[in-house]
């Protein structure tokens, strides 16, 4: 199934927090979409090498969906950034290798599992192959370094997740929130000029990409500012190094990437409370459970408040 066969409404339903956050039109509790990460790579920062085999990757795709993922994000090239944590960062992978890694998995996920699939790539060639195989969303971590990617998205009536990033290690920002908003908006404008409808563009502030721990905390706290740009906000905090930095600062213990579930849940829940429309995680099930418990507690609190008010008026 090509990307154009997807009903855009089906996609926006999976970004249901955006419907409420932007327009205030939705009634009742609305949870964000959960995006399950599937890295078909040997060198991703937390799960590299686990899903290089097609069978293993296909099984993980099914598992992510069973565990609550609304969207599968599949990539064949690590995007770990350069810096003090990951050194030189990811190794560039040629188009043919990326396609060989991800195409069988995307095809299976989109056609057999009937999943909504995003492809994580900065390559026009890879994106085109993925969209043809059934992906509906392109996640570009380069902040549209190549406008031809936007032209392809427009041509295929796909969706575009634009992630803010700067090349290299952590940058010096005058004001990280306003700098990210301005630079991302410039990329968004290039995408619109290339033909991508504004309503098919999603904003990712780029947690961990060219940013230090303090920058990441400010960005997460400033999601309402990014909502002012007029797009759904997509947050990928899962297992990132800023989680380990926070724990190390507070308790003197630095967790490995696979031991950051608690911090992932804390950051994701707060991002949802601040208005994020999509939460990108490696482990959907714990997040689904956390969102359900949070919703139940907040619902009980609301009911208690109403009941107290009615009692006071009687």
Domain ranges of the chain: 32-293
Least confident among 9-18, 131-140, 150-159: 9-18
Give one word for 236, left, alpha or beta, with left for phi > 0 and alpha for psi -120 to 50: beta
Residue 297 pLDDT exceeds 50: yes
Q: 37-68: per-residue pLDDT in tens?
A: 999 998 655 565 778 899 999 999 999 999 99
Confidence at residue 91, expressed as pLDDT on a 0 to 100 scale: 78
Residue 2 pLDDT exceeds 50: no
Distance CA 145, CA 102 (A): 22
Give one word for 116, left, alpha or beta, with left for phi > 0 and alpha for psi -120 to 50: beta
Query: Count of alpha carbons within 13 Å of 204, Cβ hemisphere only?
Result: 26
Residue 276 pLDDT exceeds 80: yes
Residue 36 pLDDT exceeds 70: yes
Say which CATH topology domain 32-293 has: TIM Barrel (3.20.20)
Confidence at residue 260, expressed as pLDDT on a 0 to 100 scale: 97
Q: What is the mean pLDDT of residues 206-222?
A: 96
Confidence at residue 5, expressed as pLDDT on a 0 to 100 scale: 44
The first and second tokens of residue 78, run together, are: 């690590």
Percent of the chain's residues with pLDDT above 70: 81
Residue 135 pLDDT exceeds 60: yes
User: Which pLDDT band, with edges at 50, 70 and 90, does 311 fall under?
Assistant: low
Give the list of residues 6+ apart from residue 259 with CB closer than 8 angstroms, or none.
Answer: none
Q: 204-213: per-residue pLDDT in tens?
A: 999 999 999 9
């Amino acid at each position: 199934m090509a990307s154009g066969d997807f009903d855009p409404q089906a996609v926006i339903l999976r970004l249901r927090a955006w419907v409420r956050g932007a327009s205030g039109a939705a009634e009742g509790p609305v949870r964000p979409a959960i995006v399950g990460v599937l890295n078909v790579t040997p060198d991703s920062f937390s799960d590299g090498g686990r899903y290089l085999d097609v069978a293993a990757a296909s099984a993980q795709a099914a598992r992510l969906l069973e565990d609550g993922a609304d969207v599968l994000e599949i990539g064949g090239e690590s995007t770990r950034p350069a810096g003090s944590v990951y050194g030189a960062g990811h190794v560039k992978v040629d188009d043919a290798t990326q396609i060989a890694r991800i195409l069988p998995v995307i095809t299976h996920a989109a056609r057999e599992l009937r999943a909504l699939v995003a492809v994580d790539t900065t390559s026009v060639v890879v994106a085109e192959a993925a969209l043809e195989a059934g992906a509906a969303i392109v996640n570009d971590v380069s902040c549209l370094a190549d406008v031809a990617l936007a032209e392809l998205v427009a041509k295929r009536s796909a969706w575009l997740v634009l992630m803010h990033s700067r090349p290299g290690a952590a940058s010096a920002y005058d004001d990280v929130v306003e700098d990210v908003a301005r630079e991302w908006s410039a990329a968004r404008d290039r995408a619109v000029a290339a033909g991508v409808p504004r309503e098919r563009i999603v904003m990712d502030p780029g947690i961990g990409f060219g940013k230090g721990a303090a920058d990441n905390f400010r960005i997460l706290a400033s999601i309402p500012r990014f909502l002012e740009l007029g797009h759904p906000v997509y947050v990928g905090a899962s297992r990132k190094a800023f989680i380990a930095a926070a724990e190390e600062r507070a308790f003197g213990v630095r967790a490995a990437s696979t031991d950051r579930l608690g911090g992932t849940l804390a950051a994701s829940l707060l991002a949802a409370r601040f208005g994020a429309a999509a939460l990108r995680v490696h482990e959907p099930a714990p997040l689904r459970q956390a969102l359900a418990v949070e919703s139940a507690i907040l619902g009980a609190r609301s009911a208690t408040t109403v009941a107290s008010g009615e009692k006071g008026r009687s």
